[in-house]
Each structure stands twice: as structure tokens, then as C-alpha cells.
């Protein structure tokens, strides 16, 4: 990969929003972005916070805090998932919303960026409680959402089931079925073939593209995947199908290791039969506290959550390539150390953009009233990912910048150029 310039170590980064802003500022500087436009893009367009009273199964009333942040609608309707997680807070949602703007711009789809979140623990809630919470959240966001305005999708803690309820609640209020208001729906409700595996598939495509540049042969390469949710499990499966030896996987129950490679399909089957947890999986060596992030392998795929790679553990990373399946897994203060060690990073806003790309296809199909084959969805999303990788790679050479900064440069330039064309008050 190209020799690159990384900014001076970014210190005192307190949350994902500051991590996002610090990379954004570096890219804006390299790009020579006018201060006026920098100011437009640095803050979200809209921020809505709500408190949602929901009746629990035991009859008690619980109040949940929810947010929807629209970072930008410059490229089109804003797009982004809704996260159900105990750690949800407004700074996190703001960062995730901005990342969606950059992500959609990097893969060149006509969307702005948004994100939603509800502070809750869906693992401890019944299906009925989750349904009432989803409906309450959707009802509170009726003025924000819309197929031409703001289009939610799944994220951590939500999936097709929640998207079905969201679509239904929105549709009830409109008096007609509006399936294009939400993506990531179940197939029968207008979901797209290929959507469930789409993010993991994009991780695989961008990992292979980076491996090629690094002269790594997939069949000789080793890998670990931290996080075994939708993104991690599909990325691990698709990488192993391409011949990569996935030595380790992990989830909150611990780490599972096999020097000769884990049978990923077997692990996924186990997880599906065990309430989405790897707990008790016995076809690999179990360790409650082995740290996959510092494992001695070629490729590291962090696919869990933000800020797991930090200044405190960056020094110990042995992988030559990091492919960010999660949003924001590397905090900005670790960038310089990772560079110093010669590690290549395929950044989140590129690596995990396969999900939103297929969300876009789902929305297109809903609006056409038509269904594409799985083969067509995969072919088109693979092409989007490959073209985006090449675009970012060439920018990184042009500006002697890391792939991460190059991805921000591509994205900011696109949004800024569009803003100038659209004009302002
Ligand atoms: N939550 C996913 C992401 O972070 C998907 C968003 C979408 O499909 O709109 O990229």
C-alpha cells in the first residue's frame, strides 16, 4: 500500500463522535474544504430525542429514552439503522448518523445519513415488550421518517422482525402500506434477497480487495472475527468459503479457537439453535478471556462495537490487515500507532457499506414494485463495493493518505460538491 501521511496522534478522544470529527477534520484539511461548508457538515441537521412510556408484561410502565439523528439530507433522503442497546446515548447516535452520511457517499448511493437508537436491553425483553417499544418509537418519529425523507433499517439489537413492526406502524398512520419507509424487512413484506448477509458480504469483498493489494493469498491467510452477530458471522462464513482460515471467533460468551480453522457454518447453526449465542459451543477450544484483537493472524475483523481498538491495545495488534465490520471499532487516538506498525485498515465507512447498499436495492425494488433475484443483488452489491474500494485506494495514493482518510476525502468531496450545487439560503 502507499506510503501515507497520518495526522499527529489525536489525543483525548472521549467518544465516537469525537473520533468521527477528528478524522473528518483531517480529511477536510487535506481537501482544503471551505470553513463554511465544514461548519455545515460538522453538526447534524436534525436531532430528535423522545421518552417512550411502554407497558411491560408485568403491567408496570417503563419509560425508554430514544433518539433519531439526521446528520445530512444533502445527497437524498437520510438513511441509517436503529440500535437497541443499553449503551445508546446521543453522542454515539450522532457519530453513527454522520458515519452513515460518509458511508452512503463513499459507495455512491443517493442517500444522506441518519441513525436512531433506544436505550434498552432487548435480550432481557419479551417479544411483546420489544414490539410495543418499536411501535412507540415509530409513532414518535412519524414526522421524521418517510420513504423520501428518512429511512430506518436494522442495527445492533434490531432485525427483520423489528423492521416489520416499524413498517406496519408507519403504514397504519398513513392509511396504506408504505414498505419503502424501512429496509431490512422480512422477505414477504418487501425485504430484499441478500439483505441479511449483505454487510458481511461487503466485508468479505473489501477484505479480498485489500488482500490482493497486500499480496496476501486468501487460501494461505489466517483471520479472526471479533463479534459473531449478523455482520461477523456472515463475514466469517464468506471469508472461510473463499479459503481464508478463520482461527478465532468471539461473542459476549467468550472466545472460540481452532488453529486449523473453525467450521463457521457449524458455529452459525449452533448459534441459531442457541438463542443467537455461542455459549456452550464445543467444536472449538473455548476461552472466557482470550483477546482476539491481539491474535497472531493476518487479518483482524472487528465486528462488534465502537472503540475496541484503542491507544492501549494498538501496540499489541499482530494482524497486517484490519477490516472494520463494526462502525467505529478503532478510536481515533489509535490511528497513528496503527500506521506506525504498518497495519492497513479498511475503514468502517467502506468495509461495512454492503448493508446499506443492499438497503438501497431494497428501497429501489419497493418503489418499482418488483423483486430482484439474489444473484442480481449480489452481483450489483459486489460491484458497488469493489468500485468503492478502488476509488478510495486511488485517493489514498493521490493524497498519500491512509485508506480511512482517503474514504473521508471521497465522501466529504461528494457531499460538499453536491451542497455547492444545491445552494443554501
Ligand atoms: N445499520 C447498518 C449500518 O450501519 C445498515 C444501515 C441501513 O441499511 O440503512 O450500515
What digits encode the pLDDT tens for the residues 160-202?
999 999 999 999 999 999 999 999 999 999 999 999 999 999 9
SS3 of residue 122 by DSSP: helix
* Ligand 1 geometric centre to CA of 195 (Å): 10
C-alpha cell at 69: 439523528
Task: Determine whether the shortest distance from the Cβ of 78 to ligand 1 is under 6 A.
Answer: no
Query: Within this chain, do residues 164 and 237 fall inside the same structural domain, yes or no?
Result: no
Residue having the nearest C-alpha atom to atom 8 of ligand 1: 356
Q: Provide the pLDDT confidence category of residue 16 given band limits of 50, 70 and 90.
A: confident
- What's the sign of the alpha-carbon dihedral 292, 297, 302, 307? positive
| pLDDT more than 70, % of the chain | 97
- The CATH number of residue 219's host domain is 3.40.50.720
Does residue 227 sit in the same domain as residue 329? yes
Q: What is the pLDDT of residue 4?
A: 44
Q: Are residues 226 and 347 in the same domain?
A: yes
Nearest to 229 by CA among 166, 264, 276, 181: 276
Higher pLDDT, 19 or 421: 421
- Residue 297 sits in which domain range? 198-351
- Residue 391 belongs to a domain: no
Same domain for 168 and 267? Answer: no
The β-bridge relationship of strands 254-257 and 245-251 is antiparallel
Instruction: Judge if 86 and 215 occupy the same domain.
Output: no
Q: Say if 100 falls within a structural domain.
A: yes
Mutating to test ligand 1, I would choose from 159, 347, 355 the residue with most ligand atoms within 8 A of its C-beta, which is 355
168 with 243, same domain: the answer is no
For ligand 1, the distance from its centroid to the CA atom of residue 96, given in whole angstroms, is 10
What whole-number percentage of the chain has pLDDT above 90?
A: 94
Q: Is the pLDDT of residue 123 over 50?
A: yes
Give the position, in ligand 1's atom list, of the atom nearest the Cα of 358.
8
Which of 113, 146, 176 terminates a domain? The answer is: 176
One domain for residues 250 and 315: yes
In terms of Cα–Cα distance, which of 170, 140, 142, 46 is closest to 101? Answer: 46
> How many domains are there within the chain?
2
Same domain, 137 and 219: no
Establish if 161 belongs to a structural domain.
yes
Task: Tell whether 128 and 229 lie within a shared domain.
Answer: no
Tell me, yes or no, whether 269 lies in a domain. Answer: yes
Task: Please identify, among 145, 176, 207, the residue that sits at the C-terminal boundary of a domain.
Answer: 176
d(CA 388, CA 408): 12
Residue 2 lies in a domain: no
Catalytic residue among 115, 271, 320, 337: 115
Q: Which of 81, 88, 114, 366 to mutate to test the pocket of ligand 1 (most atoms within 8 A of CB)?
A: 81
Instruction: Confirm whether 94 is a catalytic residue.
Output: no
The Å distance, Cα 154 to ligand 1 centre, comes to 6
Please give the model's pTM, rounded to 2 decimal places. Answer: 0.95
CB atoms within 10 A of CB 48: 15
Asked whether residue 172 falls in the same domain as residue 268, the answer is no
CA of 152 to the centre of ligand 1 (A): 8
Say whether both 157 and 260 belong to one domain. no
- The CATH number of residue 157's host domain is 3.40.50.10860
| Bridge pairing between strands 299-302 and 245-251 | unpaired
Residue 273 included in any domain: yes
- 213 and 342 assigned to the same domain: yes
Whether 354 is in the pocket of ligand 1, judged by its Cβ within 6 Å, is no
Write phi, then psi, for 121 (nearest 5 degrees). -120, 90
Q: Tell me, in angstroms, the distance from the centre of ligand 1 to residue 80's CA.
A: 5
Answer whether residue 35 is part of any domain. no
| Chosen domain end from 332, 351, 370 | 351
Q: Give the per-residue pLDDT at 69.
A: 98
Range with lowest mean pLDDT among 5-19, 21-35, 87-101: 5-19
Strands across the sheet containing 285-287: 285-287, 254-257, 245-251, 222-226, 299-302, 321-323, 344-346
For the segment 368-391, the average pLDDT, to the nearest whole number, is: 98
Amino acid at each position: 500500500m502507499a506510503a501515507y501521511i497520518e495526522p499527529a496522534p489525536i489525543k483525548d478522544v472521549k467518544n465516537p463522535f469525537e473520533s468521527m470529527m477528528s478524522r473528518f477534520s483531517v480529511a477536510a484539511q487535506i481537501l482544503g474544504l471551505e470553513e463554511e461548508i465544514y461548519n455545515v457538515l460538522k453538526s447534524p441537521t436534525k436531532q430528535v430525542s423522545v421518552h417512550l412510556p411502554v407497558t411491560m408484561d408485568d403491567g408496570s410502565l417503563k419509560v425508554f429514552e430514544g433518539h433519531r439523528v439526521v446528520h445530512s439530507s444533502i445527497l437524498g433522503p437520510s438513511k441509517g439503522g436503529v440500535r437497541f442497546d443499553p449503551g445508546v446515548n446521543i453522542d454515539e447516535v450522532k457519530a453513527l448518523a454522520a458515519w452513515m452520511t460518509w458511508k452512503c457517499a463513499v459507495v455512491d448511493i443517493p442517500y444522506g445519513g441518519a441513525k436512531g437508537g433506544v436505550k434498552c436491553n432487548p435480550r432481557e425483553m419479551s417479544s411483546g415488550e420489544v414490539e410495543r417499544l418499536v411501535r412507540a418509537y415509530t409513532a414518535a418519529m412519524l414526522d421524521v421518517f418517510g420513504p423520501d425523507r428518512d429511512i430506518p433499517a436494522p442495527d445492533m439489537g434490531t432485525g427483520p422482525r423489528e423492521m416489520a413492526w416499524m413498517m406496519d406502524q408507519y403504514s397504519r398512520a398513513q392509511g396504506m402500506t408504505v414498505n419503502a419507509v424501512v429496509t431490512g424487512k422480512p422477505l414477504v413484506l418487501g425485504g430484499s434477497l441478500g439483505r441479511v448477509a449483505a454487510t458481511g458480504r461487503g466485508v468479505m469483498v473489501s477484505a479480498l480487495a485489500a488482500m490482493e493489494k497486500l499480496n496476501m493469498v486468501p487460501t494461505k491467510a489466517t483471520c479472526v472475527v471479533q463479534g459473531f452477530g449478523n455482520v461477523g458471522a456472515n463475514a466469517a462464513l464468506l471469508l472461510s468459503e473463499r479459503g481464508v482460515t478463520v482461527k478465532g471467533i468471539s461473542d459476549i460468551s467468550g472466545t472460540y479457537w481452532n488453529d486449523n480453522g473453525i467450521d463457521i457454518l457449524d458455529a452459525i447453526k449452533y448459534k441459531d439453535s442457541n438463542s443467537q449465542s455461542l455459549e456452550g459451543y464445543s467444536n472449538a477450544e473455548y476461552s472466557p478471556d482470550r483477546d482476539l484483537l491481539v491474535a497472531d493472524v493476518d487479518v483482524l475483523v472487528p465486528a462488534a462495537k465502537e472503540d475496541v481498538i484503542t491507544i492501549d491495545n494498538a501496540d499489541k495488534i499482530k494482524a497486517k490487515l484490519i477490516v472494520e465490520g463494526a462502525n467505529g471499532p478503532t478510536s481515533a487516538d489509535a490511528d497513528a500507532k496503527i500506521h506506525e506498525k504498518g497495519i492497513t485498515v479498511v475503514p468502517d465507512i467502506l468495509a461495512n457499506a454492503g448493508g446499506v447498499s443492499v438497503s438501497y436495492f431494497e428501497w429501489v425494488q419497493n418503489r418499482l414494485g418488483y423483486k430482484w433475484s439474489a444473484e442480481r443483488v449480489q452481483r450489483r452489491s459486489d460491484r458497488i463495493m469493489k468500485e468503492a474500494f478502488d476509488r478510495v485506494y486511488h485517493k489514498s495514493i493521490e493524497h498519500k493518505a491512509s485508506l480511512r482518510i482517503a474514504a473521508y476525502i471521497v465522501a466529504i468531496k461528494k457531499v460538499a460538491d453536491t451542497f455547492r450545487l444545491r445552494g443554501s439560503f
